[in-house]
């Protein structure tokens, strides 16, 4: 049995508003899983049911072989870090970190040692006497993490803890927190709407939509092998080209999209009828006019530092392409070009209402 197991978990408000629908998820000991999705998809409600703050309408939560569905939040042995950090402004950093230890009646000397150890763990040694108002946003976040870890929880729950940080600091904290999680081997669930955050930190990502898990897999799997149009579109930019399956072969589907006949690996799934052909902007490449898979014309070219962003007009519609900035001369707006892709760059997903 998995270390943390959610079985047929559901939450309904008012008898009709289904926030979470029959959700199943197994988390292994020491694993880092992100619940990723837009606002209203049910990810925060799912986390709150795991924490015990929200009572499920149906389903069970098991931790380390024990059913904890009806166990009070403070008895679940879980550490929580919130978006607001929820630090006590009248307490020092050390008092904030030690609060949970005090509630658990840990001996004073042992608690003081645990607080110092936690401060060092998050690189805040020597700042125990300061108050939250005297710290930067990144430091306050570290205090919240140290407080959650000080109690030595079985599970760490993170509810969009980095949304209040600027982009640069957020990126740094992704690396720091992931390193700390690996060092401690603590089972962690992160709720986020930030795809970069989820892909940077997670062992697996549960992409959520309308109260359900639309796809569960490693960051590479959910990005490179999307199981639905929603999963593909939510995780990064993507081009969608309408097409129709004309033949299914052993290793690929033959799809006709406008004048293009595409050989698309089907990865073992059977598809037929109308499909959307998905290709990431970074998987399209530029070629000289008259070459490649498809002719096009540059309508927009934007410089974004480490890469260029192109919008290309073609018979398949407008396509976006990104090209790494290597200092090379690249086509300018108004130029005719060719577009190149490989078969493995394409994914075909049945259009809504199409069955196969």
Domain ranges in the chain are 4-229, 237-279+343-356, 285-340
- Write down the pTM of the prediction: 0.88
Q: Look up tokens 């033959």; give the residue.
A: 254
Res 43: pLDDT: 96
Res 268: pLDDT: 66
CA distance 229 to 226: 7
Res 142: pLDDT: 87
According to CATH, what is the number of the domain 4-229? 3.40.50.300
CA distance 175 to 92: 27
Q: Which tokens is 138 given?
A: 């990144």
Q: Is the dihedral of CA 346, 351, 352, 355 positive or negative?
A: negative
Q: Around Cβ 44, how many Cβ atoms within 10 Å?
A: 20
Topology, domain 237-279+343-356 = OB fold (Dihydrolipoamide Acetyltransferase, E2P) (2.40.50)
CA distance 19 to 23: 11
Res 1: pLDDT: 73
- Checking DSSP bridges between strand 66-67 and strand 307-314, what pairing results, if any? unpaired
Q: Which tokens is 226 given?
A: 């999307």
CA distance 132 to 152: 22
Per-residue pLDDT of the chain (356 residues; tens, 9 = 90+): 799 999 999 999 886 788 999 999 999 999 999 999 999 999 999 999 999 999 999 999 999 999 999 999 989 999 999 887 788 999 999 999 999 898 888 899 999 999 999 998 888 898 999 999 999 888 898 899 999 999 999 999 999 988 877 888 888 888 888 988 999 899 999 999 999 899 999 999 999 999 999 999 999 999 998 888 888 888 888 999 999 999 998 889 999 999 999 999 876 677 889 999 999 999 999 999 999 999 999 999 999 999 999 999 999 999 999 999 998 889 999 999 999 999 999 999 988 654 44
CA distance 158 to 271: 38
219, 199 contact by CB (below 8 A): yes
Nearest alpha-carbon partner for 281 in 329, 330, 236, 331:
236
CA distance 198 to 21: 22
Give me the residues paired with residue 338 across strands: 287, 295
Q: What's the first-to-final CA gap in the chain, in angstroms?
A: 34
Q: Which residues are CB-neighbours of 187 under 8 A, at least 6 positions away?
A: 3, 4, 27, 28, 29, 30, 31, 32, 154, 155, 156
- CATH number of 285-340, picked from 2.40.50.140, 3.40.50.720, 2.40.30.10, 3.20.20.120: 2.40.50.140
Res 222: pLDDT: 93
Res 355: pLDDT: 43
Res 296: pLDDT: 96
Q: Around Cβ 27, how many Cβ atoms within 10 Å?
A: 22
Burial of 223 (0-12, 13-18, 19+ CB in 10 A): buried
Task: Give the angle 104-108-113 at the CA atoms, nearest 5°.
Answer: 100
Task: Give the angle 68-147-194 at the CA atoms, nearest 5°.
Answer: 80
Q: Which tokens is 67 given?
A: 């059913």
4-229 and 285-340: same fold? no
Q: Look up tokens 């694993």; give the residue.
A: 31
Res 153: pLDDT: 93
């Amino acid at each position: 049995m998995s270390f943390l197991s959610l079985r047929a978990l559901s939450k309904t408000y008012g008898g009709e508003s289904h926030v979470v629908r029959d959700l199943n998820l197994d988390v292994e000991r020491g694993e880092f899983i992100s619940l990723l999705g837009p606002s209203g998809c049910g990810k925060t409600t799912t986390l709150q049911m795991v924490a015990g703050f929200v009572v499920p309408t149906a389903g069970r939560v098991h931790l380390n072989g024990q059913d904890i569905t009806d166990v009070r939040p403070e008895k679940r042995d879980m550490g929580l870090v919130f978006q607001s950090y929820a630090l006590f402004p009248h307490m020092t950093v050390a008092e904030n970190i030690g609060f949970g230890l005090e509630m658990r009646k840990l001996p004073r000397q042992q608690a003081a040692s645990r607080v110092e150890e936690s401060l060092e763990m998050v690189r805040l040694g020597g700042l125990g006497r300061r108050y939250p108002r005297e710290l930067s946003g990144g430091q306050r976040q570290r205090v919240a993490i140290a407080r959650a870890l000080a109690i030595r929880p079985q599970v760490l729950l993170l509810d969009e803890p980095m949304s209040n940080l600027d982009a640069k600091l957020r990126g740094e904290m992704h690396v720091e927190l992931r390193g700390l999680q690996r060092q401690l081997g603590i089972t962690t669930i992160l709720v986020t709407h930030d795809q970069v955050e989820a892909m940077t930190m997670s062992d697996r990502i549960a992409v959520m939509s309308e109260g359900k898990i639309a796809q569960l897999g490693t960051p590479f799997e959910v990005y490179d092998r999307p199981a639905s149009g929603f999963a593909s579109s939510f995780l990064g930019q993507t081009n969608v080209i309408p097409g129709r399956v004309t033949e299914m072969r052993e290793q690929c589907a033959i799809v006709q999209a406008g004048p293009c006949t595409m050989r698309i690996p089907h990865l073992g799934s059977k598809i037929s009828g109308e499909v959307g052909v998905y290709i990431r902007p970074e998987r399209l490449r530029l070629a000289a006019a008259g070459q490649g898979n498809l002719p096009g014309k540059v309508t927009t070219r934007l410089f974004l530092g480490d890469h260029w962003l192109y919008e290309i007009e073609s018979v398949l519609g407008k396509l976006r392409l990104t090209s790494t900035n290597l200092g090379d001369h690249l086509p300018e707006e108004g130029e005719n070009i060719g577009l190149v892709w490989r078969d493995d760059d394409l994914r075909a997903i049945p259009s809504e209402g199409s069955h196969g």
